[in-house]
Amino acid sequence: MSKIKELRQKAGIAAANIRALGKAYQEREQKREKDATVVLWPDNTRSDWDKANAEYDAIKEEIDTLEKSETISARMTALDEWENRSRTDNKPGLDDAFPGGDDETYGDRGFNDARSVREFERAERDRRNCMRMFFAGHINGGQLITSEIRESCERLNYSVGSRDSNLSFSLGDTDYLAGLQRKLRRSHPSLRSEQRTETRSMTKAGVGVGAEVVPITFLETLEMAMITTAELFAYIDIMRTATGEQIRWPIGDDNANEGVQLTAEEVDINALAQPDAALQQLTLGAFDFTSGIVKVSMQLSRDSLPNIDSVVAQMLGERLAKIKLRRATTGNGTTQPGGLTIQAPNGRTSALATAISPTDLIMLQHSVDKVYRGNGRFMCHDLIVQALRLLNDSQNRPLWQSGLQDGVPDRLLGQTIITNNFMASTIATTNVTMLYGDFRYYKAREVGVINLIKMVERFIERLQTGYMAAQSFDGRLQTWTNAAVAPVKRLTQA
């Protein structure tokens, strides 16, 4: 049995233990309503509860770490084998494995013939060599650069000096991103590092200085890091554009209107009721974000030259995702993108300032119109999820259900629960502890061009090179004049 499979089984046991402890707590709580002497946490029950939750969270984290480690190791091994094979006469065909460590073939990835496979493989090898030039061309006077790398750079007409430089390249388009979002929505967060992108979409991209030298593997790593780090971004509506010019997104509230039935007597269509849809515009700009500087020692660049690009791409993607997620959660909507906790109207004020009850959750859920509940999801901080694990319904069934063992998202009241650690982490008065609704109505605009900047001189005395990625982003929740029919609402503590 593999280590990951064993951990998933342990996760199922831990989840069952949490449900049992939570059910026992609820029973004591009911008894206390009749008998004030009943202790809610007798003996070691509180420590058992904390231990069970810590164990479940630790298993999730270990699975996530192993998944990422296995994925990266498998990808690097496959890339090495792929490059070695491409230097020989044993050229790949449609049935050969696509590099990356899974079971997909070139045919699965959309290639039509062996010639297109060979052309892609050579171009991808050249692009990877050019990225090695970008990351290591300035070290030791270029001594790390082999003749093969130089030949690749010549074929792609790419040259980089020993000093500061930058690349500008495109991510996948809106359709590509939507396909990736669909895949991620069906899986548990701990399994999302396994998801792969589609080369057919990725190979369409390419603008700016140096775009033709960025390998698909670098783009895939950056894309996956951004969308898996910000879980919410798998559920919102994101449009990718080539530039940051202001755009207006038409929206309309027609929820209160309905059609009419025509009868033989009603021949004058002008006499029929003709309610107007409340059409509005959502204006989206482009706020600039950077990853901050990732400093890489020249020794690491030298020792890890074949894989340094993927390592840096992972870090840059995670950093960009975190700042965009923070603003999409708590942004002021004027000098920052609109934050969901700010723009969503209140759907429920909790009965107690320091607790969330099953009634609070049900009332929050039903404060959102049923039109939006079909795709409704909850969102809260991970520590709030821990508190929700204690809650049972009137039949003593847990409201929270783990999806880890089955590889699907965790659920609350039968619907997906999204973890967002930029929301309030404590259940305290006036805090917005939960959001519920159809998050597709959060409209985001993302400029699909990434600027990758290399800084050599700034950290030269430390023998380090700085790398920074920049991207533009904006977002707003689609809301109506009538807040009662808003697609997303919040739970506010009393």
Taking CA atoms, 366 is separated from 176, 435, 437, in Å, by 34, 12, 10
For residue 239, the surrounding DSSP H or E stretch is: strand 237-241
- Taking the C-alpha atoms of residue 480 and residue 482, their distance in angstroms, rounded to an integer, is 5
Nearest to 433 by CA among 489, 493, 475, 343: 493
Euclidean distance between CA atoms 485 and 372, whole angstroms: 9
Per-residue pLDDT tens for 107-153? Answer: 766 777 777 777 888 888 888 888 888 888 777 667 778 888 888 88
How far lies 202's CA from each of 88, 119, 173, 244, 265, in Å?
27, 16, 8, 21, 58
Question: Do residues 235 and 185 lie in contact, with contact meaning Cβ atoms separated by under 8 Å?
Answer: yes
C-alpha neighbours within 13 Å on the C-beta side of residue 44: 3
Question: What span, in angstroms and rounded, lies between the C-alpha atoms of 460 and 444?
Answer: 39
Radius of gyration of the chain, Cα coordinates, nearest whole angstrom: 26
Distance from C-alpha of 54 to C-alpha of 14, rounded to nearest angstrom: 10
The amino acid at residue 68 is K
Q: What is the pLDDT of residues 68-86, one digit of tens each?
A: 666 555 555 555 555 555 5
Residue 328 pLDDT greater than 70, yes or no: yes
Q: Band the pLDDT of 460: cuts 50, 70, 90.
A: confident
To the nearest whole percent, how much of the chain has pLDDT over 90? 30
Least confident of 263-277, 437-451, 464-478: 263-277
State the CB neighbour count (10 A cutoff) for residue 166.
18
**Other beta carbons within 10 Å of 237:** 18
| Tokens representing residue 281 in the block | 């515009």
Q: What is the pTM of this model?
A: 0.76
Tokens of 218: 């670098």
pLDDT tens for residues 167-211? Answer: 888 888 888 888 878 877 776 665 544 444 444 333 333 444 455
Distance in angstroms (rounded) separating the CA atoms of residues 425 and 262? 55
Three-state DSSP class for residue 288: strand
How far apart CA 491 and CA 428 sit, in angstroms, is 12
- Residues 6 or more apart whose Cβ sits within 8 Å of residue 278: 252, 253, 254, 480, 481
Mean pLDDT for the stretch of residues 247-267: 70
Q: Are β-strands 449-455 and 165-170 bridged in parallel, bridged antiparallel, or unpaired? A: antiparallel
> What value does the mean pLDDT of the chain take?
81
